[in-house]
Structure 1
Amino acid sequence: MTNKAKFLSTIVFTVFSIGNSWGQEAYPNKPINLIAPYSAGGDSDLAARAFAAFAQAPLGQNIVVVNKPGGSGIIGSDFVRRATPDGYTLLLARPGSQSILPALAPENTKYKWDDFTIVGMLELNPYGCAVRKDSPFKNYEDLADALKTRGTKLNYGTAGIATTNDMGPRLLFTLLNLGDKVPQQIPYKGTGEATSALLSGQIDFSCGSIGTMLNLIKDGQLRALLVTTPNRYKELPDVPTAAELGIGDMSQIIGWSGIYAPIGLPKPVIDKLVQSLMELDKNPGWRNTTEKIGSIPNIKGPKEAAEFAKNQYETYLNLGKRLNIIDKLN
């Protein structure tokens, strides 16, 4: 090889090496945005902030929680779906935005349940129904009787159409055979807003993840009437389960949180994020924080999380057919 050829070869190798090193720059090297698709103070916000607080150590970067509420979670979710798949825009996935809407309103939802890279699961949220402390409904039986006799005169709050806050009452009304004599739904931008409305007396009752209501229930400002967990929730041992009350089908409704990203996320980035989830699972600080906000730590990797997400989608698809609401939401 001539000296000129050797020189050109060296230049090509150097340029390639520099370009290759740039392309393999360690992830993450800047802050990560975590999109919570509902308003501040609700389940997605609480889960996102717990994740951000404790996952920044294993990731080595700050995680910035950005609330993008609207469209029952569609706006924030679709923002992440369309984002550059580089690991710097993540989604705090929730059942309403990731399972219920794709199942019940596929024409109005801008994505399918699997139009994301499913990184993993974070937690499960015990689900239940509650009233304020001065409500005339002292227990589930009181509420059920009122729903049967004057359902149209009552109202209830949700985090929007096609969320677990919405689906739980819809199923309950069906189990009670209310027909079209149902309470008026008042949709808010998140569970936190619905809980505030319940506390202030703007609505008669609300069903949703217990976490948002837990401290208010413990303080006596709200009263829980039922939970949908298989066994009594340890934080509220005096509250009966749906199965105990003869409405076991309500156990299909449960909240959860996961970490999603755009399709096309590079494997090294996925591996780093999954590794951070596994570290989180061993962190007593995150586990304690998650339990304090009323959730159950439930870390799962990509495969198990995808299987769970598919099962949730199919559950609500079947439930939508049973309740005859799919066409009504499209």
Structure 2
Amino acid sequence: MLKSSKRLIGKSILAGLVASALGISPAIAQNYPNKPITLIAPYAAGGDSDFSGRNLAAVASKLIGQPVVVQNVVGASGTIGSQKVSAAPPDGYTLLVSRGGSQAIVPALDSKTPYKWNDFTMISLLDFNPVVCVVKNDAPYKTMKDLIDAIRANPGKLNYATAGPGTTQHLAVEVMLSQLGLPSTAAMMIPYKGGGEATTALLGGQVQFICNNLTTMVGQIKGGAMRALVTSTPNRLKDFPDVPTAKEMGIGNLEQVMGWSGLYGPPGLPAEVVNKWQAVLKEVAKDPAWLRGNDTVGAIPAIRSPQDTEKFAREQFELYSKLGTQLNLKK
């Protein structure tokens, strides 16, 4: 009995030391959550990270028993908000809506990024976002061929909007231009704070086209304010059967570029917190409101295990690192 008690005491002390090293106590992890959770979207309101965060928060708040509050922390292609989470206490009260741009593309292309692709605790993927290239409804470009011909005929004259260098919107155009045998300067990038602002810039006539995630633009496309010219999906979209695929238009490499959202935490997030969120996300994945939200904007549900999320994130980082080398985009 005495030896057993000593072993239990020893384990308790060890658990306490480990928890202290992580900056939290075992009791806090076991009682998680007992206060509101901040979910940082690293791009501007109206963009894909904002949508994914709010679509999740609306359902998760009810399931997890505490308010989940979305906070937009924008700037530097999503790295400011991402860095804030990577430096946050690992207690589960500050989480990140991870994005392909901020978590894979930027770290792959820019050696000065203040974090690495895996400097986070990966909880799950949330959704995938096809990329669609669009123009304003009154633009003279009726097809993707029209737009490509205009870029060839007027190199450097047409502008396109992005959420910043190294984002999905930027890389999609770079991949397209490269496959067409055109330099990066054939079309000029105009950076904005987020996908929502980039979309607004197109509607305002500040740029001629944008290759953005469908989730940000589906309402304007369905409403007729924008004309979709091509999709990055292997097959035509069910809601937009008249929009040709990238492969049909001779720019099949565009399929490599896809937007996505995930749920990340700071490094060292306790297993109890990760497991809590995994249990919540299993219910989220079946929730009609969450599914309906994704369907409304053309997002594809993609909730995964932490292990599958890390595997996917690694593959994305390696893909963009390779693309960056091929396209001479690394710095």
Q: TM-score, normalised by structure 2?
A: 0.91
Question: 1:183 corresponds to which residue?
Answer: 187
User: What is the 5 A alignment of 1:116-135?
Assistant: 116-135=120-139
Which one of 247, 250, 254 corresponds to residue 246 of structure 1? 250
Question: 1:258 corresponds to which residue?
Answer: 262
Deviation string for 1:185-227 (max 9, x for gaps)?
1000000000001011110000110111111111111000000
Matched AA of 1:127: V
Question: 1:12 corresponds to which residue?
Answer: none
Structure 1 runs (4+) deviating above 2 angstroms are 20-25
Question: 1:208 corresponds to which residue?
Answer: 212
Question: 1:93 corresponds to which residue?
Answer: 98
Q: How far is the alpha carbon of 1:254 from its aligned partner?
A: 0.4
Larger radius of gyration: 1
Question: 2:177–2:184: 8 Å Cα contact kept in structure 1?
Answer: no
Matched AA of 2:39: L
Deviation string for 1:114-163 (max 9, x for gaps)?
00000000000011100000101101000010111102111110010000
% identical equivalent positions: 48
Alignment CA distance shift 1:260-1:229 (3 Å): same
Matched AA of 1:316: Y
Which one of 52, 69, 72 corresponds to residue 64 of structure 1? 69
User: What is the 5 A alignment of 1:1-330?
Assistant: 22-23=27-28, 25-106=30-111, 108-179=112-183, 181-326=185-330, 330=331
Question: 1:126–1:233: 8 Å Cα contact kept in structure 2?
Answer: no
Q: How far is the alpha carbon of 1:24 from its aligned partner?
A: 5.5
CA–CA separation in structure 2 for the residues paired with 1:236 and 1:88? 39
Question: 2:13 corresponds to which residue?
Answer: none
Question: 2:129–2:215: 8 Å Cα contact kept in structure 1?
Answer: yes
**Aligned partner of residue 300 in structure 1, secondary structure:** coil
CA–CA separation in structure 2 for the residues paired with 1:127 and 1:319? 17
Alignment CA distance shift 1:76-1:264 (3 Å): same
Moved more, 227-236 or 61-70: 227-236
Alignment CA distance shift 1:135-1:72 (3 Å): same
Question: How many residues end up aligned between the 2 structures?
Answer: 308
CA–CA separation in structure 1 for the residues paired with 2:182 and 2:29? 60
Matched AA of 2:247: A
**Aligned partner of residue 152 in structure 1, secondary structure:** coil
Question: 1:46–1:293: 8 Å Cα contact kept in structure 2?
Answer: no
Q: How far is the alpha carbon of 1:295 from its aligned partner?
A: 0.6
Alignment CA distance shift 1:154-1:27 (3 Å): same
Alignment CA distance shift 1:24-1:269 (3 Å): closer
**Aligned partner of residue 251 in structure 1, secondary structure:** helix
Q: How far is the alpha carbon of 1:22 from its aligned partner?
A: 4.4
- For structure 1, the residue ranges without an aligned partner over 5 or more in a row are 1-15
CA–CA separation in structure 2 for the residues paired with 1:80 and 1:304? 21
Question: 2:33–2:65: 8 Å Cα contact kept in structure 1?
Answer: yes
Alignment CA distance shift 1:24-1:112 (3 Å): closer
Question: 2:129–2:259: 8 Å Cα contact kept in structure 1?
Answer: yes
CA–CA separation in structure 2 for the residues paired with 1:224 and 1:46? 20
- For structure 2, the residue ranges without an aligned partner over 5 or more in a row are 1-15, 17-24
Q: TM-score, normalised by structure 1?
A: 0.91
CA–CA separation in structure 1 for the residues paired with 2:295 and 2:70? 20
CA–CA separation in structure 2 for the residues paired with 1:164 and 1:63? 27
**Aligned partner of residue 304 in structure 1, secondary structure:** helix
Deviation string for 1:234-274 (max 9, x for gaps)?
12111000011111111000000000000111111110011
CA–CA separation in structure 1 for the residues paired with 2:26 and 2:119? 30
Matched AA of 1:210: L
Question: 2:180–2:251: 8 Å Cα contact kept in structure 1?
Answer: no
Question: 1:148–1:176: 8 Å Cα contact kept in structure 2?
Answer: no
Matched AA of 2:268: G
Matched AA of 1:212: T
